[in-house]
């Protein structure tokens, strides 16, 4: 059997070979035995207020609706040590983060149960700690897809979270095919 996409969105064509008598079937009893129960009760969505992290939030809202899960939107404020020899640095404040999260909370609305959280520290470490402390079932986060020297210098928060989180992690890439509409 071959499955091919069509020109119409969300449609496929299933072609069977000439010697195939019918499409494969599966009884509901067999399906229940094969497929494990999949439940999500708590989702964590770390955001940095970029378009990419808003895309991850969109995915998380959809998953939360589907599973009736609670959504926690987390922003980590990077702790910068004071350096007197440096000039003024535009540092994000915790208050700014709370204001941005309040705006995101309005976009989420009442469609899903949600709360916001601000932490200070290293992003990947705080995300991992929050997931553990809150007993999160799934972390949904975005990646900017940096490569080369930028990746070496800045590292990848998404990669570190995926490697060290104690729960599954869904990484949403900025410029990839969407499966949430």
Which CATH number characterizes residue 66's domain?
3.40.50.620
Does residue 177 have a pLDDT over 80?
no
Q: What is the pLDDT of residue 111?
A: 80
Whether residue 14 is contained in a domain is answered as no
Q: What is the pLDDT of residue 117?
A: 94
Whether residue 101 is contained in a domain is answered as yes
Whether residue 135 is contained in a domain is answered as yes
Q: Which domain holds residue 107?
A: 39-80+87-173
Q: What is the pLDDT of residue 157?
A: 86
Q: List all residues 6 or more positions away from 67 whose beta carbon is below 8 Å from its beta carbon.
A: 39, 40, 41
pTM of the model: 0.70
Q: What is the pLDDT of residue 86?
A: 53
- Number of domain units in the chain: 1
Whether residue 163 is contained in a domain is answered as yes
Whether residue 28 is contained in a domain is answered as no
Whether residue 122 is contained in a domain is answered as yes
Q: List all residues 6 or more positions away from 41 whose beta carbon is below 8 Å from its beta carbon.
A: 67, 69, 70, 137
Q: What is the pLDDT of residue 127?
A: 95
Whether residue 23 is contained in a domain is answered as no
Does residue 136 have a pLDDT over 80?
yes
- How far is CA 56 from its chain centroid? 4
Q: What is the pLDDT of residue 92?
A: 63
Whether residue 136 is contained in a domain is answered as yes
Q: What is the pLDDT of residue 154?
A: 41
Range of lowest pLDDT (14-23, 37-46, 136-145): 14-23
- Rounded (10°) angle between helices 157-164 and 123-133: 30
């Amino acid at each position: 059997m071959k499955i091919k996409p069509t020109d119409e969105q969300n449609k496929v064509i299933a072609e069977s070979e000439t010697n195939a008598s019918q499409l494969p079937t599966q009884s509901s009893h067999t399906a229940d035995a094969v497929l494990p129960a999949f439940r999500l009760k708590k989702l964590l969505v770390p955001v940095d207020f970029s378009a990419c992290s808003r895309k991850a939030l969109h995915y998380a809202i959809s998953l939360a609706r589907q599973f009736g899960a609670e959504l926690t939107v987390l922003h980590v404020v990077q702790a910068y040590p004071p350096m007197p020899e440096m000039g003024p640095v535009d540092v994000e404040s915790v208050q700014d983060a709370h204001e941005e999260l309040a705006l995101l909370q309005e976009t989420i609305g009442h469609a899903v149960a949600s709360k916001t959280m601000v932490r200070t520290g290293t992003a990947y470490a705080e995300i991992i700690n929050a997931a553990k402390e809150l007993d999160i079932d799934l972390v949904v986060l975005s990646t900017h897809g940096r490569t080369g020297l930028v990746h070496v210098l800045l590292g990848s928060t998404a990669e570190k979270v995926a490697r060290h989180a104690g729960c599954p992690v869904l990484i949403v890439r900025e410029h990839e095919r969407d499966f949430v509409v």
